[in-house]
Amino acid sequence: MKKIISCVLILAALLALVQPACAAQPPEIDAQYVNAIKTYVTLSISASGKATIVTSATAKTGVTNITAITRIQRKVGNSWIFVENWRYSTTNRTFSKSYSTQLSVKGQYRAVTDFTLTGATTEYITNISTATY
C-alpha cells in the first residue's frame, strides 16, 4: 500500500512540474523599428465610390524628416494598376494625413504607403490596406 501511495505522490509531483511548461504561450512578435514608433495606412471606400485614405506616422526622438508616398491601386487579374498617388513630407515627428478620391470602377483596391524616416539613419517602411468597391 505504501508503494502505491508513493507512486501516486511521485506522479502527482511530476504532473505539477510539467503543467506550467505546457501552459506557456509563445511571445507575440512585433516589428522592431529604428526610427519609427508607429506607421499605418487605412483605406475605406463608401458605397458611392469615394475612397478615403488615412496615413499616419509617429517617429522617435532624433528623426528630422518623415516622407510618406501613398498610392491607390486597383486589382486587374493578378496585377495592381496605378490609380492615383499623393506625397507628404514633414519635419515634425508625428503626422496624420487624409486623402480622398472618387473611384469610377468597381473592384478591389489597395492603398500602399512608403514611409521614409530620416534621422541618424534612414528607415524605409511600407504599409498596405485593402478595400472593395
pLDDT digits (tens, 9 = 90+) for 16-69: 665 555 555 666 676 789 999 999 999 999 999 999 999 999 999 999 999 999
Q: How confident is the model at residue 94 (pLDDT cuts 50, 70, 90)?
A: very high
For residues 132 and 2, what is the distance between their CA atoms, to the nearest angstrom?
71
pTM > 0.85: yes or no:
no
Q: What is the C-alpha separation between 22 and 16, in angstroms, rounded?
A: 11
* Structural domain spans, the chain: 36-132
Per-residue model confidence (pLDDT) at position 15: 60
State the pLDDT at residue 31.
73
CA 120 to chain centre: 24
Q: What is the pLDDT of residue 132?
A: 97
| pLDDT number for residue 16 | 61
Q: Which residue has the cell 519609427?
A: 36
> How does the average pLDDT of the chain come out, rounded?
89
Q: Which residue do the cell numbers 473611384 mark?
A: 103
- State whether CATH 3.40.50.1220 applies to domain 36-132: no
Say which amino acid occupies 104.
S
Beta strands in 11-107 (DSSP E): 36-45, 50-59, 65-76, 79-90, 94-102
Amino acid letter, 102: Q
Per the CB < 8 A criterion, the answer to whether 81 and 103 are in contact is: no
In angstroms, the CA 36 to CA 13 distance is 48
Alpha carbon distances (Å) from 119 to 65, 66, 67: 7, 9, 12
